[in-house]
Structure 1
Amino acid sequence: MSIRLPRGTQDILPGDVEKWQLIEKKAREICEKFQYHEIRTPIFEQTDLFLRSVGDTTDIVQKEMYTFDDRGGRSLTLRPEGTASTVRSFVEHKMFGYANQPVKLYYMGPMFRYERPQAGRYRQFVQFGVEAIGSDDPAIDAEVIALAMSLYKEMGLKKLKLVVNSLGDKDSRQAHREALINHFQPRIGEFCSDCQNRLEKNPMRILDCKQDRDHELMKFAPSIIDYLNEESKVYFNKVQQYLTSLGIEFEVDSNLVRGLDYYNHTAFEIMSDAEGFGAITTLCGGGRYNGLTEEIGGPEAPGIGFALSIERFIAALDAEKVELPLNNGIDCYIVSLGEDAKDYTVGLLNKLRQAGFSAERDYLDRKIKAQFKAADRLQAKFVAILGDDELKANKINLKSMDSGEQKEMELASFIEEFTALYRN
């Protein structure tokens, strides 16, 4: 029986991994412009971190976490998302004491959720996310959204839709909570067992239920927008004002409920409107999480962030047929004829690489025609041809694969001549 990769995972092979590298590079470049700095946290954390932050009524905690006991009997969990770990690190390392506030962080790495694999969704997936912790200015909400939109647009995506909502402050949430309980309670027996369990603990999670989303009570459920107090309304209006001033188009969706317990005030999602992208259109989601630092033992430090899936990012690029500049070819391929010449090219190849060029040679003792075909496949800009006769004469021939022009050079000064020719 052959060993295969686990269900819900994937191997990212050469030819595809370059797409990932390009997205990662662009994400780092944009974060540098926005002054967000990378943080790297462990792949597994104490289980209690996610119970406190993500919420024990969420699907993630109830159904999707990879949790295990280590040899010391401690309960650990493979991280299902990145915000909790980032905030835990913020608290543990006392970043709230940094001179520059808010603290702007970004992360990139694998997350793990045990859910049904489908197109663009895996049990091990890669997230890029940002967190701005230490400010309750609505302008930072707009900045975080602008960062996400910039990444998508600079990678070439055009068919995007941004939806925003406000989940209100604590008082607004409490008023809405009571309204939801009164709305659903008379017929809660018609809902799934998860929704029944959530009615008293966190009724807003009912609105996020996939199984009962077509139930008639869902269509007329109380909207959080109607329960926002004046402070929450002012905050949400400011976020919308700043988005407009940034030239970012958006829609207000009062039904938008993020699936994690720590959100309040601003919540948002970026979706793909590309034809054929699939039924699940969400590319990115995020929001404000005032109170999360206190929940895990730190001082008050309001925050906002988002996370996006690299897998779904690539699916959106493919759906819009965006051509990415993936392969620029190599600078030089060395073709050799004869044993002495072949031996010599080992050192010559190394000298080219040390001089800063991408270069390759044959390792399969192929004929000259096959070596040229290999150079074509690698999209070599130049081919250096060295035979035993040329080696004895201290000469080497350089051919431009673009023009077909061929030039003889002194072998001893080949690196210098090639450098001058290439840079001109």
Structure 2
Amino acid sequence: MKTLHPESKIVNSWSILIVLTTIYNYIFIPFQMATKGSIISNSVLDLGFFLDLGFDSILIFDLLLRFNVGYIERGQFINDKAHVRKNYLQTDFKRHLLSCIPIDIVARLFYPNLAVWIIALLRIPRLLRVFDSLSASKVWEDSINSNPVIVRLLRLLFVIFLVEHWVACIWFLIRNINISFHGYLQALYWSVMTLTTVGYGNIVADEQTVQELGFTIFVMMLGVTMYAFIIGNVASVITDMNASQSRFREKLDRIQTYLREKKVPQGLQKKVRSYYQYMWEYNRDTSTDFLSVEQYYLNDLPRSLSTQISLCLNQKLIESVPMFKGAEPQFIEQILAKLRPIVLPPEDYVIHEGQIGHEMYFINHGEVQVFSEKDNKIIENMESGSFFGELALLDSVRRTASVKTLTYCELFVLEKSDFAQVMADYPNFADKIEEIAEKRRQENQSDSIG
């Protein structure tokens, strides 16, 4: 069998089954021990037996599968079979082996009338798998397809539920509550009330036995600790969710205060506020100082990785330009590295008719209008994926039309000097571009946006 990557889809999908198995055991083992199986019908007990058998089979299969799952060491994927086996035997193997030994199944075969709570007691080693579930949740938290804040919040809520469930089962057992599902709900109510320090279970101390008093005191102390744990974690989650928005509000407040102090006209203040609000929607993070998200985060990556991401995001924009078609991949990569992102508000001029051009533009998002100021005529509207001003890269020509934004526009700018620098490294392709440009001058001289 081929060695699997620990972050592959197969392993991640399999880890979901392991988590479900752990959840099943953490819920039903204490429940069966507390109720002694008395509130469960025989048909449900039979179903439980087959569920136990099925989940145990998953754990046994997982034990064998782990011998074929590689591991990451110092950023390197280790897939050598001998190293993988040795690593597994030295780390999780003993715990996994102990957790999947079917002692309860064997006991049922030799003692068919064995009490349900004893069978549940024999299944306690299954709970050792909780460490695998925690590791899986960490992997999901770091997954590119999930929101880490939501994963942390769900994990916190589930841990809280499990603690309350276990406390309820223990209280159910020592309190000798009426053995029924309603009795379990009463115990769960007491558990929630006590752990959340709301009413400490509404139990009068004089009416409790020594065991009940001792357990109640323990749960109260646990509740205080758990309360602090919950508040701290929830506060951390909320802070993570709103950190970017808080920075944005703080920055916007400072800017608005400055504009008011300088007595800037209300209309202009409104435009500035609208611009910043759009930039918030565009970036979702003011820690970038309103740079492009790509520009901000890619600066920290190695050049090879940042180039691959730029290719993935913007390659189609470059390849849509006729004179760049058929270019070498390395040429496209260098052009992408020279692109400079800008964001413009509505009704803002990108270029003016008659100006000498020094750059071309790619529309990543938004809509612009091309028009002639001299003839007072609209030539065309251009949307995402379009480009204009490409002749300025080849000649020092004046713009033959004006371009202004109709909506908020996210543009990429390619400067003439940067283009010339790239072309110097590709002289053969430079000749081809000159031929294409000359043909375009002749065909579209009347309406091109040079």
TM-score, normalised by the number of residues in structure 1:
0.21
Larger Rg: 2
**Which has the larger strand fraction?**
1
TM-score, normalised by the number of residues in structure 2:
0.20
**Which has the larger helix fraction?**
2
